[in-house]
């Protein structure tokens, strides 16, 4: 026999029932709570509750026997691996097997409700995981349970109901860390000539690490002073595949035009003059990575740079320049975007050449610069009363 009730959350109705289910394989019965989304009307929720009671009374309600570990492995192999880039897929696999599988992998999918996920997130918070890390974990679990919904295993996504509303006290919005002009000068001075060119382009264009490595000469228009961003090479990507167009950018918004400023223009012209291969399909930074030959001379390898090596090189020269230990290669991108906003560029234009899928991302990360823009506007804008006069 089933008993239950209806409740409303955010304009939608849910039924929650306590049912006695019988496992068809063992014949054993047990009590469990089941929650289902019933739509936007109470009448529809009442119909669903009656149907659920009839299923239980007729012994037609069969619980899902798959565990979170099993459905997670299915999700990784059937959805994540075919649809995401290798680096992103590897990140999803690592997160699932490092955090999710050991903690809740043994639970049945139907038993992994919002209360179980809240307890899981609280445990991770107690282990020292940041709020940003927990939010990322919840997004991945949400995608996994959405896959389970499509497979008919669950009707309600428990990760959606386990969402933390608003920000915690003292939690700041996301924000980039930019280098000051003095720090930029010290850093470039500490770099050898060939790497100084690479990091100058990074500082002036705001390209991501993989986008810089994936640049080919056909993407660079030195006359029009624009870069066509068409691909990105990550740690798990095979660089030679870039020649046949298999590699893509991080998102659709990543395919974009980026202006070339004076510093990047000079650096790219110098790179072009030094390049041994200037064909359209040749990597722009093929002359950056050098290898010592048997005669002791350092010569360019002529191949795209390894992404991890770029990060190692950045840390080496950042340390020599006396930059804070927390500085990352990605902070050069933050510096470029901060420079554009600080010079008064339109936020929509900045979001476009930064490759942000949503303008709200630009505002969230660089919103701390808005007060400065407001002070500039106070000096620049004309009074409505003056215009009318």
Q: Which domain holds residue 215?
A: 181-374
| Whether residue 29 is found in the same domain as residue 107 | no
| Whether residue 16 is found in the same domain as residue 95 | no
Structural domain contains residue 174: no
Cβ neighbors of 271 (< 8 A, separation 6 or more) are 197, 284, 285, 287
| Whether residue 79 is found in the same domain as residue 211 | no
91 and 55 in contact (C-beta within 8 Å)? no
| Whether residue 108 is found in the same domain as residue 127 | yes
Pairing of strands 220-221, 226-229: antiparallel
| Whether residue 228 is found in the same domain as residue 248 | yes
Provide the CA 381 distance to its chain's centre, in angstroms. 37
Q: What is the structure's pLDDT at 168?
A: 47
Q: Which 3 state secondary structure label does DSSP give 104? A: helix
pTM: 0.67
Provide the CA 123 distance to its chain's centre, in angstroms. 23
Quote the number of domains for the chain. Answer: 3
Structural domain contains residue 335: yes
Structural domain contains residue 171: no
| Whether residue 23 is found in the same domain as residue 72 | no
Q: Select from 245, 239, 241 the least CA-distant residue to 303.
A: 239
Structural domain contains residue 388: no
Structural domain contains residue 166: no
Q: Give every residue of the chain whose pLDDT is below 70, as ranges.
A: 1-3, 18-34, 36-37, 55-65, 152, 155-156, 161-176, 236-247, 250, 287, 289-303, 368-378, 380, 382-389
Q: What is the pLDDT of residues 254-279, one digit of tens each?
A: 789 999 999 999 999 999 998 888 88
Neighbours of 301 (CB within 10 A): 12
Count CA atoms closer than 13 A to 12's CA, side-chain side.
8
221, β-bridge pairs: 226
What's the rounded Cα separation, in Å, for the pair 177 and 239?
29
What's the rounded Cα separation, in Å, for the pair 332 and 317?
13
What's the rounded Cα separation, in Å, for the pair 364 and 370?
11
| Whether residue 288 is found in the same domain as residue 233 | yes
| Whether residue 53 is found in the same domain as residue 73 | no
Which of these three, 131, 161, 191, is where a domain ends?
Answer: 161
Neighbours of 66 (CB within 10 A): 15
Q: What is the structure's pLDDT at 170?
A: 43
What are the backbone angles phi and psi of residue 180, rounded to the nearest 5°?
-75, 160
| Whether residue 299 is found in the same domain as residue 320 | yes
What are the backbone angles phi and psi of residue 251, rounded to the nearest 5°?
-135, 175
| Whether residue 137 is found in the same domain as residue 186 | no
Structural domain contains residue 381: no
The CATH number of the domain where 239 resides is what? 1.10.443.10
Q: What is the structure's pLDDT at 163?
A: 63
| Whether residue 18 is found in the same domain as residue 107 | no
Cβ neighbors of 50 (< 8 A, separation 6 or more) are none
């Amino acid at each position: 026999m089933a008993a239950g009730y209806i409740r409303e959350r955010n304009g939608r109705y849910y039924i929650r029932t306590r049912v006695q289910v019988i496992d068809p394989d063992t014949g054993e019965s047990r009590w469990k709570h089941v929650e289902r989304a019933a739509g936007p009307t109470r009448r529809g929720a009442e119909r669903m509750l009656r149907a659920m009671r009839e299923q239980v009374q007729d012994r037609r309600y069969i619980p899902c026997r798959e565990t979170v570990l099993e459905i997670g492995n299915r999700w990784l192999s059937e959805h994540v691996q075919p649809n995401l880039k290798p680096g992103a897929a590897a990140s999803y696999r690592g997160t699932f097997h490092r955090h999710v599988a050991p903690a809740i992998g043994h639970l049945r999918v139907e038993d992994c409700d919002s209360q179980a996920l809240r307890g899981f997130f609280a445990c991770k918070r107690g282990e020292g995981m940041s709020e940003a890390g927990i939010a990322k974990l919840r997004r991945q679990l949400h995608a996994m349970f959405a896959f389970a919904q499509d497979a008919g295993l669950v009707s309600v996504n428990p990760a959606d109901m386990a969402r933390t509303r608003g920000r915690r006290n003292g939690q700041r919005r996301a924000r980039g860390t930019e280098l000051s002009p003095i720090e930029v000068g010290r850093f470039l001075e500490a770099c050898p000539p060939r790497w100084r060119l690479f990091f100058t382009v990074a500082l002036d264009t705001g390209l991501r690490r993989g986008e810089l490595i994936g640049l080919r000469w056909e993407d660079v228009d030195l006359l029009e002073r624009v870069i066509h961003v068409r691909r990105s090479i990550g740690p798990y990507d095979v660089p030679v595949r870039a020649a046949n167009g298999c590699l893509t950018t991080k998102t659709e918004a990543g395919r974009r035009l980026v202006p070339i400023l004076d510093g990047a223009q000079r650096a790219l012209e110098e790179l072009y003059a030094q390049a041994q291969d200037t064909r359209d399909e040749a990597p722009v930074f093929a002359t950056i990575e050098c290898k010592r030959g048997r005669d002791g001379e350092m010569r360019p390898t002529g191949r795209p740079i390894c992404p991890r090596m770029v990060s190692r090189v950045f840390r080496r020269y950042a340390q020599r320049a006396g930059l804070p230990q927390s500085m990352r290669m990605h902070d050069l991108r933050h510096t470029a975007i901060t420079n554009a906003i600080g010079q008064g560029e339109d936020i929509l234009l900045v979001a476009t050449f930064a490759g942000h899928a949503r303008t709200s991302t630009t505002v969230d990360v660089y919103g701390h610069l808005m007060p400065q823009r407001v002070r500039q506007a106070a000096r620049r804008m004309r009074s409505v009363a003056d215009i009318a006069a």
